[in-house]
Amino acid sequence: MALAEITARLREAEKAAGRPEGAVTLIAVSKVQPVDRVKAVLAEGHRVFGENYVQEAAGKWPVWKAAFPGVELHMIGPLQTNKAKLAVELFDAIHTVDRLSLAEKLARLAEVQGVCPQLFIQVNTGEEEQKAGILPADLDAFVGQCRGLSLPVQGLMCIPPEAEDPAPHFATLRDMAARNGLSGLSMGMSSDFEAAVAAGATHVRVGSAIFGARSYA
Ligand SMILES: *Cc1c(COP(=O)(O)O)cnc(C)c1O
């Protein structure tokens, strides 16, 4: 099975990087995948999943959460402020905190609900116009603002530019996390998760390598 193969490669990458076994959490990215494929991975015992769309996740995960105890859900897609409430109720972690208005909204929700998902700040390491994320030059101040709001910021997240070697972006993210005293690093996807582990990733987000190609048709 693909899950077993990816898990084995992840354990190898941890070993090669001199990191303890299990140091890296494998987030199985199940967005737009057919129900059967996701259920098969649940049946194999995997419990950590990532989704990009609040509405889609809200449509399928409550039932699976009830059926498979221990499911941990990570929001890894852009989060609209008007979907934040639903996201806070559904997700255990949000990897895409990318603006002050969203941070403020999450802080208000956390106050009302008494709990808050673990948060990652998305950094636009490639400074790409079309990509979400805090610009590197603004990051330290933004971390300070989130801390001022008492938000549980666990770490940083990035999606390197498609056509570039991801390794320098992973290294930059690691350095930015270290200088801000953050331990979490959400980086690495199907094509580059081993490089991310070598650079210190704590969470890799792997979709198609586990489930097969996505069809958006
Ligand atoms: C879809 C997605 C992934 C998974 O991508 P694969 O290439 O299928 O592994 C990881 N991270 C984010 C933010 C995504 O949107």
Instruction: Look up residue 140 and give its two tokens.
Output: 């330290």
pLDDT of residue 216: 76
pLDDT of residue 217: 63
Q: Tens place of pLDDT for every residue, the chain, 217 residues?
A: 699 999 999 999 999 999 999 999 999 999 999 999 999 999 999 999 999 999 999 999 999 999 999 999 999 999 999 999 999 999 999 999 999 999 999 999 999 999 999 999 999 999 999 999 999 999 999 999 999 999 999 999 999 999 999 999 999 999 999 999 999 999 999 999 999 999 999 999 999 999 999 987 6
Q: Ligand 1 centroid to 30 CA: how many Å?
A: 9
Question: Of 206, 208, 214, 207, whose CA–CA distance to 25 is shortest?
Answer: 206
Nearest 10 degrees: CA dihedral of 73, 122, 83, 93?
20
Please report the atom of ligand 1 found closest to the CA of residue 96.
13
CA distances from 6 to 28, 67, 134, 156 (A): 10, 24, 30, 23
Q: Ligand 1 centroid to 187 CA: how many Å?
A: 10
pLDDT of residue 1: 65
In the chain, what are the domains?
3-211 (3.20.20.10)
pLDDT of residue 77: 98
Place of tokens 């941890």: 14
Please report the atom of ligand 1 found closest to the CA of residue 208.
8
Q: Ligand 1 centroid to 157 CA: how many Å?
A: 12
Instruction: Look up residue 152 and give its two tokens.
Output: 């549980």
Q: Ligand 1 centroid to 114 CA: how many Å?
A: 30
pLDDT of residue 188: 98
CA distances from 98 to 19, 51, 78, 136 (A): 29, 17, 8, 12
Q: Ligand 1 centroid to 145 CA: how many Å?
A: 28
CA distances from 213 to 17, 36, 46, 90, 131 (A): 28, 14, 19, 25, 22
pTM of the entire predicted model: 0.97
pLDDT of residue 215: 84
Contact 206, 24 (CB under 8 A): no
Which amino acids bring their CB within 6 angstroms of ligand 1?
A: 29, 31, 52, 76-77, 159, 189-190, 205-209
pLDDT of residue 106: 98
Residue 116 CB partners (closer than 8 Å, separation 6+):
88, 106, 109, 110, 151, 152
> How far is Cα 110 from Cα 112, in angstroms, rounded to an integer?
5
Please report the atom of ligand 1 found closest to the CA of residue 157.
13
